[in-house]
Structure 1
Amino acid sequence: MKSKYFTFLAVFITSFFFSCTDDVEEEVYDKYQADEFYSTPEGADVALAAVYAQVAGNWGGLGYAGADNGWYDLNSMSADEQVIPHRNTGDWQLDFARLYKHEWLPSDLIVNNTWNWLYQAVFSANLAVEQLENAEASQAKISEAKVLRAFFYYLLMDDYGNVPFYTENNVTVEELPQASRQEVYDFVVSELEENVPNLSDTKDGEYYGRFNKWAGYALLAKVYLNAEVYTGTAQWQNCLNAIEELEAGGFSLHPGTANEASPNGYQYYELFGDRLPADETILAMFATANVVSRNIYTIRSLSGPHAMALFGVSGWNGTIVPQRFYDNYSDADIRKVQFLVGEQPGGVTYTPQVNSLDNPGADPYAGVRNIKFYPATPLDGGGASNDFPIFRYADFMLMKAECYVRLGNASAAKPLVDAIRERAGLSALEGDPSLEDIYDERAFELNWEGHRRQDMIRFGTFLNANEFRGESEEYRELFPIPTSALDANPNLEQNPGY
């Protein structure tokens, strides 16, 4: 059930309705000054809801996850965990294969969509900060808007490096200055360190899907985890410190017990369903198909007749899991249940091997399919209602283990890695974990959750050759600034290599 979050969104929808009808009832806003409105709890939530609406995925490449052709696809299909092949029947655009083969260009659709969405989100966050500060709203609400803005700038510097930077919406596009990755990193860290302690410590309820204190520390830990990539200086101890602050929120691993009533037969898969469980979920993206966002990932993966046989809607016959990635899983691992190969309902047989991504393309039923996000109702051919885990505790246990190993304390990392393995039905490691062990475990645990590109860059594997391309050049660790952005702003300098 999602009623409390609907209440939060309803404030935004109601406000939008009134703003669109003020020509009919102008006196509604004559009664209130804007500052007075945004100083109230209801008004502050309207300002924040407008920013959270940017997180939810939608068509046209908008949002963090849930739909297609946006941030999620850019960061997932450029890694090694998934791709949509062009089919030799003529189906599917070539953009996804180009991402997997590291052949993207500054003019590519998904590169542009991600950039445009993130700057639209920054604009919304700037506006919310201005509204709340002018109204002298509660510090917790102002800080929440600033943490959201830091989240969007974190995603921008992660993908694009040196990016346009502004915190007030009174600058035209052609005047926006370009900040270095170091400068954006410093801003993000400063904003988070200053504002996260002011956030609410409420878990779930009205803060399901919102940045509370624990989600704020999770974001700070992510920034510190990748600090060496962003700035050249590692921050492993600071990452550990942020995770320890997060742990004060009382999170734990959700059970992995077999349960026929659970999606895919195990309680573990409840982590990817409708209302995500509060024991492990730190921050979720809310989705209800055709109302707020959607989740297309299983429906996009399965073929038409197969999805019809399972769910009563047609699948898109799109996303596959590369065979190398699939083959790394142990048969005893309950996380392997999410992958489908061989004969399936609907008269479909999936073969693991994919011989071509683009020319001539893959056979119609070539490729391993994924049902990690087993569709939650309501659903239709345009997607399901699974919420999306932006941050969950298993990720941060593995981050903590990685920091311990990098700081020379592998014995402290062992119980963290073992707990995740044992939940998955695997045995504990025989010895202390290596960085390679942690890298592999992150792939097994977090596939299709938007973390893989970042992990591969941090561990130095992103440029390695795969079955469809040779070794990539170093500049591919950043995406290009879109051609349209360069045309609009003469202050911008393209990333090297493009």
Structure 2
Amino acid sequence: MRKLYIKLVGLFVISVLFSCTGDVEEQVYDKYQADEFYSSTEGADVALAAVYANVAGNWGGVGYAGADNGWYDLNSMSADEQVIPHRTDGAWQLDFARLYKHEWLPTDLIVNNTWNWLYEAIFSANLAVEQLETAGAAPSKIAEAKVLRSFFYYLLMDDYGNVPFYTTNDVTVEELPQTSRQEVYDFIVAELQENVPNLSETKGGEYYGRFNKWAGYGLLAKVYLNAEVYTGTPQWQKCVEAIEELETGGFSLHPGLANEASPNGYQYYELFGDQLPGDETILAMFATANVVSRNIFTIRSLSGPHAMELFGVSGWNGSIVPQEYYNNYEDGDIRKEQFLLGEQPGGVSYSPQVNSLDNPGADPFAGVRNIKFYPATPLDGGGASNDFPIYRYADFMLMKAECYIRLGNSGAAKPLVDAIRERAGLSALDSDPTLEDIYDERGFELNWEGHRRQDMIRFGTFLEANEFRGASENHRKLFPIPTSALDANPNLQQNLGY
């Protein structure tokens, strides 16, 4: 991703130079030069860099993860793994608490930000596909652009269901047709089946943070894993087959051994630092604060004086882990080391009990805090430089185990679950795992990584009551189409219930 970022800067320079032609009419040779440029390896990577720039998280709800008010918050805080309460001292907007309480509306900022980000990303991917196909670029580069587009459409239909769909940018917003979730699913599967085999097999280096063949099969497995939610028809065996293709890339669990050099005490936490280890990481979001993207998650969780004592910058005193979620972890689980309670440096003490999320709100120091993404340098009060794991091998081991159980082969699932438990310092299961075991283990292993809402919907727990709300209505399994999108496009129909 570093090389791609440099090339993206180059793309900006090229754009400026082209803009200086002023009133000069477009000539045939302009198109010839563009085609020649995008057919080269360097030019193809410039086109792709413009698409990958949409993945990086930044302010204004842009990106996959790393900053705030976007896709990550929408999908994490509507689940049970984290929330930002409104505080009794007046801190924090109510948006996050309303997500946790399933009270979001079509006019909400985060709902709108996520929609806008995904469509901007799709527009960028469409443009790259057109540039690369017109130029006759290498098949692997065209395939990469199409897989990226499928990734964004997957996130879009996962959140919103029936959505506007287009693959060329020659249509205006008000003309975009609304396409069923089934049709978008079919498109994604067909695109991935056709293009993933053409992706590069390179791991790391210039493909760190890019879709290679193994990340492509990971995306296909994710789509198949949730096929029953999207279409009504499960695809457990196809999910297993996609994961088996991924496994030919040679991934393994990163060690979980004690490590005094780690701020959280174990090698395991290298999976959430800077330059994520290639043994387990399949696809990462690259971040260097104030250069490209950022990672706010620990700084957003810790209070001001506590973060100042640890990192020399003030924390935001925001995100917490609900007590019920924290209490599910076993003592001795190294993954429990990411949570902070009680007396802390800086004269702060965190209590687990949160009595209110919104009215009157939580005490300023109420709530379990999380340092899973212990800040990597460079860092400041706006975030740190931790890269973000979009896909890692432990996730796919648990996915495969889940599919085995749903296919009636729980014995094949046991060594997969046991390996993850044993890395965490726990004993193997006494018997073959159940679906409940898989659900719990996914919660322990993957918290704060953006998977929880999807898991809760698939396992049927998303609508259940919690300590802050009653049971939710069925329509909450989808987010509403933003009011602004409905106003701009008369072809759109709002999701039922909103």
Q: TM-score range by the shorter chain?
A: over 0.9
Partners of 2:66 and 2:294 within 8 A in 1: yes
- Following TM superposition, by how much is the alpha carbon of 1:32 offset from its aligned partner in structure 2, in angstroms? 6.2
Partners of 1:350 and 1:365 within 8 A in 2: yes
Question: Which amino acid in 2 is paired with 1:415?
Answer: P
Which residue matches 2:298?
A: 298
In the alignment, the residues of structure 2 paired with residue 169 and residue 181 of structure 1 have an alpha-carbon distance, to the nearest angstrom, of 21
In the alignment, the residues of structure 1 paired with residue 367 and residue 17 of structure 2 have an alpha-carbon distance, to the nearest angstrom, of 51
- Following TM superposition, by how much is the alpha carbon of 1:31 offset from its aligned partner in structure 2, in angstroms? 10
- Residues 370 and 31 of structure 1: CA distance in aligned 2, closer, same or farther (over 3 Å): same
Partners of 1:301 and 1:320 within 8 A in 2: yes
Question: Which amino acid in 2 is paired with 1:184?
Answer: V
Q: 1:16 aligns with which of 12, 23, 33?
A: 12
1:325 aligns with 2:325: yes
In the alignment, the residues of structure 2 paired with residue 6 and residue 401 of structure 1 have an alpha-carbon distance, to the nearest angstrom, of 35
Map 1:48-447 onto structure 2 (within 5 A). Answer: 48-447=48-447
In the alignment, the residues of structure 1 paired with residue 474 and residue 455 of structure 2 have an alpha-carbon distance, to the nearest angstrom, of 15
| Cα-to-partner distance string for 1:216-254 (whole Å, 9 max, x where unaligned) | 000000000000000000000000000000000000000
Q: Secondary structure at the match of 2:284?
A: strand
In the alignment, the residues of structure 2 paired with residue 31 and residue 221 of structure 1 have an alpha-carbon distance, to the nearest angstrom, of 39
| Cα-to-partner distance string for 1:406-441 (whole Å, 9 max, x where unaligned) | 000000000000000000000000000000000000
Question: Which amino acid in 1 is paired with 2:452?
Answer: R
In the alignment, the residues of structure 2 paired with residue 262 and residue 167 of structure 1 have an alpha-carbon distance, to the nearest angstrom, of 45
In the alignment, the residues of structure 2 paired with residue 256 and residue 269 of structure 1 have an alpha-carbon distance, to the nearest angstrom, of 8
Q: Secondary structure at the match of 1:33?
A: helix
In the alignment, the residues of structure 2 paired with residue 163 and residue 74 of structure 1 have an alpha-carbon distance, to the nearest angstrom, of 17
| Cα-to-partner distance string for 1:393-417 (whole Å, 9 max, x where unaligned) | 0000000000000000000000000
Q: Secondary structure at the match of 1:252?
A: coil
| Cα-to-partner distance string for 1:272-305 (whole Å, 9 max, x where unaligned) | 0000000000000000000000000000000000
Partners of 1:71 and 1:114 within 8 A in 2: yes
In the alignment, the residues of structure 2 paired with residue 204 and residue 23 of structure 1 have an alpha-carbon distance, to the nearest angstrom, of 35
- Following TM superposition, by how much is the alpha carbon of 1:14 offset from its aligned partner in structure 2, in angstroms? 1.1
In the alignment, the residues of structure 1 paired with residue 21 and residue 272 of structure 2 have an alpha-carbon distance, to the nearest angstrom, of 44
| Cα-to-partner distance string for 1:48-105 (whole Å, 9 max, x where unaligned) | 0000000000100000000000000000000000000000111000000000000000
- Following TM superposition, by how much is the alpha carbon of 1:190 offset from its aligned partner in structure 2, in angstroms? 0.2
In the alignment, the residues of structure 2 paired with residue 32 and residue 434 of structure 1 have an alpha-carbon distance, to the nearest angstrom, of 60
Q: TM-score, normalised by structure 2?
A: 0.98
Question: Which amino acid in 2 is paired with 1:21?
Answer: L
Partners of 1:401 and 1:416 within 8 A in 2: yes
Partners of 2:85 and 2:96 within 8 A in 1: yes
Question: Which amino acid in 2 is paired with 1:70?
Answer: G
In the alignment, the residues of structure 2 paired with residue 290 and residue 333 of structure 1 have an alpha-carbon distance, to the nearest angstrom, of 34
Question: Which amino acid in 2 is paired with 1:9?
Answer: Y
Q: Secondary structure at the match of 2:148?
A: helix
Partners of 1:57 and 1:63 within 8 A in 2: yes
Question: Which amino acid in 1 is paired with 2:253?
Answer: L
Question: Which amino acid in 2 is paired with 1:92?
Answer: W
Question: Which amino acid in 2 is paired with 1:19?
Answer: S
Question: Which amino acid in 1 is paired with 2:13?
Answer: F
Q: Secondary structure at the match of 2:283?
A: strand
Q: Secondary structure at the match of 1:264?
A: coil
Which residue matches 2:481?
A: 481
Partners of 2:2 and 2:206 within 8 A in 1: no
Q: Which runs of 5+ in 2 are unaligned?
A: none
In the alignment, the residues of structure 2 paired with residue 310 and residue 25 of structure 1 have an alpha-carbon distance, to the nearest angstrom, of 52
Q: TM-score, normalised by structure 1?
A: 0.98
In the alignment, the residues of structure 2 paired with residue 471 and residue 97 of structure 1 have an alpha-carbon distance, to the nearest angstrom, of 16
Which residue matches 2:458?
A: 458
In the alignment, the residues of structure 2 paired with residue 202 and residue 34 of structure 1 have an alpha-carbon distance, to the nearest angstrom, of 27
- Residues 30 and 135 of structure 1: CA distance in aligned 2, closer, same or farther (over 3 Å): closer
- Following TM superposition, by how much is the alpha carbon of 1:310 offset from its aligned partner in structure 2, in angstroms? 0.2
Partners of 1:263 and 1:270 within 8 A in 2: no
Q: Secondary structure at the match of 2:53?
A: helix
In the alignment, the residues of structure 1 paired with residue 432 and residue 2 of structure 2 have an alpha-carbon distance, to the nearest angstrom, of 45
1:467 aligns with 2:467: yes
Partners of 1:303 and 1:314 within 8 A in 2: yes
Q: Secondary structure at the match of 2:264?
A: helix
Question: Which amino acid in 2 is paired with 1:8?
Answer: L
- Following TM superposition, by how much is the alpha carbon of 1:123 offset from its aligned partner in structure 2, in angstroms? 0.1
| Cα-to-partner distance string for 1:26-48 (whole Å, 9 max, x where unaligned) | 99x96961111100001000100
Partners of 1:333 and 1:426 within 8 A in 2: yes
In the alignment, the residues of structure 2 paired with residue 22 and residue 375 of structure 1 have an alpha-carbon distance, to the nearest angstrom, of 40
In the alignment, the residues of structure 2 paired with residue 6 and residue 232 of structure 1 have an alpha-carbon distance, to the nearest angstrom, of 41
- Following TM superposition, by how much is the alpha carbon of 1:179 offset from its aligned partner in structure 2, in angstroms? 0.3
In the alignment, the residues of structure 2 paired with residue 18 and residue 479 of structure 1 have an alpha-carbon distance, to the nearest angstrom, of 39
- Following TM superposition, by how much is the alpha carbon of 1:22 offset from its aligned partner in structure 2, in angstroms? 3.6
In the alignment, the residues of structure 1 paired with residue 141 and residue 17 of structure 2 have an alpha-carbon distance, to the nearest angstrom, of 27
| Cα-to-partner distance string for 1:439-468 (whole Å, 9 max, x where unaligned) | 000000000000000000000000000000
In the alignment, the residues of structure 2 paired with residue 182 and residue 7 of structure 1 have an alpha-carbon distance, to the nearest angstrom, of 37
Q: Secondary structure at the match of 2:188?
A: helix
Q: Secondary structure at the match of 1:479?
A: coil
In the alignment, the residues of structure 2 paired with residue 209 and residue 346 of structure 1 have an alpha-carbon distance, to the nearest angstrom, of 36
Question: Which amino acid in 1 is paired with 2:107?
Answer: S
Q: Which runs of 5+ in 1 are unaligned?
A: none
Q: Secondary structure at the match of 2:346?
A: coil
Identity among equivalent positions (%) equals 83
Q: Secondary structure at the match of 1:129?
A: helix
- Residues 224 and 365 of structure 1: CA distance in aligned 2, closer, same or farther (over 3 Å): same
- Following TM superposition, by how much is the alpha carbon of 1:331 offset from its aligned partner in structure 2, in angstroms? 1.2
In the alignment, the residues of structure 1 paired with residue 390 and residue 328 of structure 2 have an alpha-carbon distance, to the nearest angstrom, of 24
- Following TM superposition, by how much is the alpha carbon of 1:7 offset from its aligned partner in structure 2, in angstroms? 2.0
In the alignment, the residues of structure 2 paired with residue 230 and residue 255 of structure 1 have an alpha-carbon distance, to the nearest angstrom, of 35
- Following TM superposition, by how much is the alpha carbon of 1:25 offset from its aligned partner in structure 2, in angstroms? 7.7
Question: Which amino acid in 1 is paired with 2:112?
Answer: N
